[in-house]
Every structure is written in structure tokens, then in C-alpha cells.
Amino acid sequence: MSLPVDRLPAEDLAVVCLPDLFLDHVIELPEIDEAEETIGRIHSQGGGKVLDVPQQVVPGGNAANAAHALARLGLEVDLAGRTSQRGKAFFQCTIARDGVGLSLVREDGELAATSVLAYGPEGTNVMLNDPGSVEGYGPEDLREADEQAIRAADAVLVGNWASMTEHGTELVRHVVDVADRADTWTYLDAADPSRREDGEQLVAALADVPLDVWAMNDAEVELFSGEAGLEAGARALAERTGARVDVHSGETAVSARSGVVAEAETFDVEPRHLTGAGDAFNAGNLVGDLLGLDPGERLRLAHAVAAATISHPDARPPDAEALAALETQAQDPTARPT
């Protein structure tokens, strides 16, 4: 089963992603015990600095990361949301240069930012999050231009319901309704619900709207479904909502709808970053839908986009050439991407 690199770039496909744009400050630390010992020592002496800590400031957010990966695959992508003037300027200097359209991004809000503490060689993440304008984002923030773009697109991706604590469920319902009336494919990544107590309300709301795909990771599916295991959780949520439920982990992914379950294993790569892996998976998964791939091919493409992203030194999503190199490496482990 080969990756459909010959069908990329998919320039005739258009996607709208919304609503979260985050400025991510990634701090690479040793294993947590060693890091805590060092920080505790500095704190106990009244303050000071820890030298030689690798850091970078990168664009983040579920919707923004997915938009970036989709644009790198050659799709026409518009990102909608609300941030500050400085926030929008930062995204204009980063993902816009890779083709993400920002004309729908408002700059009259507050910057959303995350400090990502990445511990150890595997980069286990602890994220210190300030949601900014994402927290209160809701249907009233969508302008006519946003809804028109959704109606004209082939697909719309809604990310980070978990951070939209005030009106997130209403936003999801509204976007799905607008998209459904225009026959636009709908894709949701609700993100980690562990800090919210209304996950059951989202599940109930999705049973009343024609959402096409709900994607999540292995921890999230258990929280939303109450079931242990990827397949059991995916089946349970698919039956309750009517959506196709796709669940991914570091080893595999399953896709469940109407009693049919597909599965595909991940690619064997050496990860350099873990932040954004799920967002890259979403981009590949959504492209697979729009290209009409069968479930196994679609999940494999999703894994490939995620694998290429997390193994890149700068966590840059792949283009068709990078995916082809990953395919070559999968077939011949002695080969290395150039």
C-alpha cells in the first residue's frame, strides 16, 4: 500500500480551519527528576538562570497546525480565528509563508500562548496554557466572510473545543450546520477534555448534528467514551454520535463507523518533537478523505504526515517530496531522507 504522493499537491481542494492560533514557546528539558532538581536548586538560592536550555518559538494550536500541514500538502487553506495584532503578525511571518491564508483571522483579540515543557529525549509534554481569545470564541465571532468561506470549501476543520470553555459546543453545532447546508465535509478535533466537566454534553450535541469525522487520541477517546481501548471507544462514540470516529496513538490508529472498523500501524521514525503530532495526523487524514482513499490508505497517509512532522528537526510538516522520502525509508530502513 503506497502513499498517494502522485496526487499531491492537491491544489483543487479547499479547507477552512478554525479557531485556535497559539504562540508556542517550546522549552526542551532533561528528564523531569533532573529538571526539578536543577530548578529547585536555583529557586532555593533566591533565583538565577539555567544555562544551555534549547528553546524555540513556533506557531501552534490545533487548527493552525493542521492548516499548516494541509498547506504544505498543497491544498488551498484559510485559517479563521481571533488573536492580537502581534499574534497575527507572527503567523504572517511563519505559516503564511507556506501558503496558509490569514484573511479570515481577526486581530482585535488577545494572544493565545502556550509554554511547552518538553521533558527527556522523548519530549513528553507539559503545556502551560493561556487560551486568550480562544476561550470565549463562539458562533457570534463568525462573520459572513467566515461562513461564506466554509460554504465554498471542500471541508472545514474545527479544533480545540477543549479551550473554548464558554461557547465551544455551540460553535461546533453552528459550524456543522453551516457546512451541512453547503455539503462541506466536517471534521472535529475536540482536544483533551480532562479539564472540562461537560464532555458528555458535547457527545450528546454531536448526536443531533451531521458531523462527518471526529478525531482524537487514545487518551481522549477513553475520556469521551468511558471505554478502555481504541476500538471499543471509537465504536461507542460512533454509535452514539453517528459520526465516523478516528482514534490515533503512537503505535496505530482505528477508524469506526456503522460497525466497520479499519486500522493502520504507524511509521517507524525517530521523533524529535511530539507537539503537533495529532494535528499533522488530522491533516493527512482529512486529505485522505478528500482524495477518496479507502480507510486503510487514509490512515496510513495520516500516519505518514504525522511521522514526517515529528521527525523533522524543526517539526515542519511534509510536502509530497518528503512523504515520498518517508515511503522509501519505510521500504528500505537503510535509506535516509535527504
Q: Which residues contact 238 (CB under 8 A, 6 or more apart)?
A: 244, 245, 256, 257, 258
Phi-psi region of 229 (alpha: psi -120 to 50; beta: other; left: phi over 0): left
Helix/strand/coil percent split, the chain, to 5: 40, 25, 35
**Residue-wise pLDDT tens digits, 220-240:** 999 999 999 999 999 999 999
Nearest of 246, 220, 217, 242 to residue 234 by alpha carbon: 246
Does this model's pTM top 0.75?
yes
CA distances from 33 to 59, 120, 173, 328 (A): 29, 10, 43, 39
Q: Answer for the pair 155, 186: CB distance below 8 angstroms, yes or no.
A: yes
Angle between helices 295-310 and 320-331 (to 10 degrees): 100
Residue-wise pLDDT tens digits, 170-223: 999 999 999 999 999 999 999 999 999 999 999 999 999 999 999 999 999 999
Domain ranges of the chain: 8-21+61-112+133-331
8-21+61-112+133-331 topology per CATH: UDP-N-acetylmuramoyl-L-alanine:D-glutamate ligase (3.40.1190)
pLDDT tens, 107-151? 999 999 999 999 998 788 898 999 999 999 999 999 999 999 999
Cis ω for the linkage preceding 59 (within 30 of 0): no
**45-104 tens-digit pLDDT:** 999 999 999 999 999 999 999 999 999 999 999 999 999 999 999 999 999 999 999 999
